[in-house]
Structure 1
Amino acid sequence: MDPFADPDPYRRLTSEAIVLAGGGTAILLQLAHPAVAAGVARHSDFAVAPMRRLWGTLDFVTAITFGKADERAFVTRLVTSQHGRVNGEDAAGRRYDANDPEAQRWVAATLCWSAMRAHRRAFGRRTAGDADAIVRGFGALATSLGMPASLWPQSAREFDRYFRDTLGHLEITADARRARDELFTARNVSWWLRALMPLATRLAVDLLPVEIAAAYGHPHTHVSRFQAALGWAPLVLANRTLPRAVRILPSRIVPARLRQRIRLLETRASRPDTPATAH
């Protein structure tokens, strides 16, 4: 069965291209967690290669959701290996560890929340049953990295309660602000991507909870909401008029790219005179 034709609400939502519009929001929410921001600041090449980080996230989410067993195993090993090096103390002496189950839960929660917000912007609210299924589906992202399944909410109501409670403990640190600036400056990407960053920034901030947007220095105002509405308008129109086969094309491209990468690594690993890693 074609996984992209699966009627499961989680798979249908995550296959839609519109959820990519929530990517910037998810990153800002992740950075608002001091432990995550410290890990990014001290161990990530985020500022040097933001698109590589984006592709890595897309590879992981798509493989866990739609991939075959070997593809899921590949991305899980890759991310687990990277996370194993991310630990230490931040400037305030607080410990951080990418393998901390609470940090993994928050990262998965930001992806869930941002994807649902972006999708709702284009297609409206979901039924309670669909929302529950979507929340449970996103739990697989965190549990695949070792988070105990018992930590993940099993309903949209539980998720919303966890999300709101966590917001009260977030902090926009200096690490978070530096990473935010690098993200939106986009100095190391193609010119056409830099040209899109003002719009991407506006959409990312628009989806943020009001208190987090204000903490980043981007308060929600009537003017900012109007500007965001202008940015969303063509995206909403396109997603409501284009057939689903077109809307999910990006999700079909990622698995094909991932399979090509796995084949390349396998080929290199079979040759003792060549490196076994690819970038």
Structure 2
Amino acid sequence: MNRETFLLLGGTAALLLQVAHPLVAAGVAEHSDFHHQPFGRLLRTLNTTLAIVFGTTRQARAGLARIDRRHAPVRGQTSEGRAYDARDPKLVVWVQATLVLTSLRLYELVLGRLSDADRESYWAEARFFASQLGATDAALPRTYADLVRYERVMLAHTVIPDDNAVAVARAVLRPMRWLPAPLYWMSDAFTTGLLPPSVRLSYGLPWRTRERLWFRFVISALRRFVPATPGPLRVVPHARRYERRIR
């Protein structure tokens, strides 16, 4: 599933969902240059994740080590005095869950629902990846159904965007602030459609009839064009290299 290039379109939604957790938002706000490089963290994460998934054993180990080095200094306290640490197993689980669930939502909207077995397999692979980053068995949802329940509980009680999250979201949604806001409407509407309703509402992102219609139009277009897209454009380079290697 991770071989699909179109899944990159869900990156902004995944990032907004990650920083909707106040402790993740604090780490990003205090330890990254998101105002000047709003997509830096996301692109590094995606590139490293793909290298781990599709790379050699040596490349996977190097990727995990890079993530660990980046996470090591990311620790501190929020303005309310809550401690955060990027290596906290609970935060690792949340970040991994956002990537998995956002990718699954977009994939199934475009290419159809996966079987229960495929959903379980996808989460099992992601679960292993999270464990290599320090997530404990106790913190990780065991099954896909557990993952869905976990997200529901987190959204109800923990994941509520604060001022840091809103600042990060503003930088990510408006990477070139000199452009008029209306020019971002189409990308905003697509990102909004991939977010859970409570997060969408907390960020103050509009979800009116026109946003819904645009989102449906884009999904409909992707359903038509993705299956017809030539391999070199449809498949991410990391996966193409892997597939050549195992032939």
Q: Normalized against structure 2, the TM-score is what? A: 0.88
Structure 1, 105-114 or 133-142: larger mean CA deviation: 133-142
Q: Does 1:62 align with 2:60?
A: no
Alignment correspondent of 1:227: 214
Alignment correspondent of 2:29: 41
What is the DSSP-based 3-state SS (H/G/I as helix, E as strand, rest coil) of the residue aligned with 1:151?
Answer: coil
Question: How big is each residue's C-alpha offset from its partner over 1:133-160, in whole Å with a ceiling of 9 and x where there is no partner?
Answer: 1111111332121112443223221111
- 1:48 positional shift: 1.7
**Cα distance change on mapping 1:125 and 1:187 into 2, 3 Å:** same
Matches within 5 A, 1:162-173: 162-168=150-156, 169-173=158-162
Matches within 5 A, 1:204-215: 204-215=191-202
CA contact 2:14–2:98 (8 Å) conserved in 1: yes
- 1:77 positional shift: 1.4
What is the DSSP-based 3-state SS (H/G/I as helix, E as strand, rest coil) of the residue aligned with 2:76?
Answer: strand
What is the DSSP-based 3-state SS (H/G/I as helix, E as strand, rest coil) of the residue aligned with 1:49?
Answer: coil
Alignment correspondent of 1:272: none
Question: How big is each residue's C-alpha offset from its partner over 1:78-127, in whole Å with a ceiling of 9 and x where there is no partner?
Answer: 11111111111111211111010000000000000000011011111111
Structure 1, 121-130 or 152-161: larger mean CA deviation: 152-161
Letter in structure 2 aligned against 1:204: T
- 1:232 positional shift: 2.9
Q: Does 1:113 align with 2:91?
A: no
- 1:206 positional shift: 0.4
What is the DSSP-based 3-state SS (H/G/I as helix, E as strand, rest coil) of the residue aligned with 1:14?
Answer: coil
Q: Normalized against structure 1, the TM-score is what? A: 0.79
Matches within 5 A, 1:144-183: 144-168=132-156, 169-183=158-172
Alignment correspondent of 1:237: 224
How far apart in 2 are the matches of 1:50 and 1:60?
A: 17
Letter in structure 1 aligned against 2:124: R
The total of aligned residue pairs comes to 240
Letter in structure 1 aligned against 2:37: A
How far apart in 2 are the matches of 1:121 and 1:18?
A: 12
Q: CA RMSD in A?
A: 2.4
- 1:72 positional shift: 1.2
**Cα distance change on mapping 1:174 and 1:120 into 2, 3 Å:** same
How far apart in 1 are the matches of 2:57 and 2:16?
A: 31
| 1:98 maps to which of 64, 86, 96 | 86
Letter in structure 2 aligned against 1:44: S
Alignment correspondent of 2:38: 50
How far apart in 2 are the matches of 1:77 and 1:180?
A: 28
CA contact 2:71–2:86 (8 Å) conserved in 1: yes
Letter in structure 1 aligned against 2:101: W
Whose radius of gyration is greater, 1 or 2?
1
Alignment correspondent of 2:59: 71
How far apart in 1 are the matches of 2:108 and 2:2?
A: 12
**Cα distance change on mapping 1:45 and 1:202 into 2, 3 Å:** same
- 1:67 positional shift: 1.1
- 1:217 positional shift: 0.5
**Cα distance change on mapping 1:249 and 1:170 into 2, 3 Å:** closer
CA contact 2:54–2:239 (8 Å) conserved in 1: no
Give % identity: 29
- 1:245 positional shift: 5.3
- Long gaps (5+) in structure 1: 1-12, 256-279
Question: How big is each residue's C-alpha offset from its partner over 1:217-271, in whole Å with a ceiling of 9 and x where there is no partner?
Answer: 124333321121223333332113225554114444798xxxxxxxxxxxxxxxx
Question: How big is each residue's C-alpha offset from its partner over 1:179-233, in whole Å with a ceiling of 9 and x where there is no partner?
Answer: 00000110289x9xx9985433222110111111011112433332112122333
